[in-house]
Structure 1
Amino acid sequence: MKYSKATNYALHTMVFLTLAPKGKAIGVEPLAKMQDLSATYLSKILTKLVKAGLIESTPGAKGGYTILKKKEDISFLDVIQAVEGQTNLFRCSLEHDSFMPHNGCLIEQAMQDVETKMQETLSQKRLVDIASQIEQTEKNPFFKM
């Protein structure tokens, strides 16, 4: 299984925003620069995070992005679903009714069980846990701000 690069950038962006000083909006340019991305590409990802209600955008010279939800409540799964959507990773392409009536696809059922367990794990992983590990080092991107 592989998530898109957009999910990778969204997770990193959310950790950066979690690390930002309280009340400080961070513009798209510094967020993009930290990840060596174009601001245009990152803006598309940020739009998805805004639509999901994870962050908010403040326009203007001192504007930028800030975490909207309580930081402690944001899980990896929240960010992944904001970018990737909530569709299942596996869908059976065969019609099983002819040889397995009423059972559906056993392979799809097994894959959905695994996906459910993965989602449970991702919902327990919090961005603040990663941010707190970074805060303990001088590698915090906002250490000198």
Structure 2
Amino acid sequence: MKYTKATNYALHIMAYFVKHEGKDNLSLQPLASHMNISPTYMSKILTQLVKADLIQSAAGVNGGYSLRKPKTIISFYDVIQAIEGSGALFTCEMDENQACQIERVMREAEEKMVNHLKEKRIYDIV
């Protein structure tokens, strides 16, 4: 299983937000430069994080992005779900008329991983 590059960036971006929470709003251009990500790609990731209510944006001279949720409650799962969505990682295509035992095992594994990612907070690693 492999997450997209956007998820990798989003996790690092959120760690940066958590580390700098309470300071001035973070602007797109300096944030993109600091993370070495193109401003266009950074904007797409930030838009997804805004839609997930993890961060908020403000327009104007003192505008930029800031955390929307308390930094101590944002989990790895919250960020991953914002970028990847919530679909199952595995779906059985073989046993349409009966319960697929392979899918059952894969879903159990996915559930354990999801629970682990929900317990791990970005704040804990910063």
Whether TM-score is above 0.5 comes out as yes
Structure 1 unpaired stretches of 5+: 132-145
With normalisation by structure 2, the TM-score equals 0.95
SS in 2 for 1:66: strand
Q: List aligned pairs for 1:42-57, cutoff 5 A.
A: 42-57=42-57
Of the three residues 111, 114, 124, the one matched with 1:119 is 114
Structure 2 unpaired stretches of 5+: none
With normalisation by structure 1, the TM-score equals 0.83
Question: Aligned letter for 2:61?
Answer: A
* Aligned residue number for residue 26 of structure 2: 26
Q: Which runs of 4+ in 1 moved over 6 A?
A: none
Following superposition, the deviation at residue 95 of structure 1 comes to 3.0
Distance 1:58 1:96 in 2: 48
> Equivalent pairs: percent with the same residue?
48
Question: Aligned letter for 1:26?
Answer: L
Distance 1:119 1:21 in 2: 26
State the superposition RMSD in angstroms.
Answer: 1.1
* Aligned residue number for residue 13 of structure 1: 13
Question: Aligned letter for 2:113?
Answer: M
Q: Which structure has the greater CA radius of gyration?
A: 1
Distance 2:95 2:122 in 1: 41
Distance 1:21 1:73 in 2: 13
Question: Aligned letter for 1:110?
Answer: V
Distance 1:55 1:79 in 2: 10
Alignment size in residue pairs = 126
Contact 1:75 1:124 (C-alpha < 8 Å) held by counterparts: yes
CA 1:94–1:39 in 2, change beyond 3 Å: closer, same or farther?
Answer: same
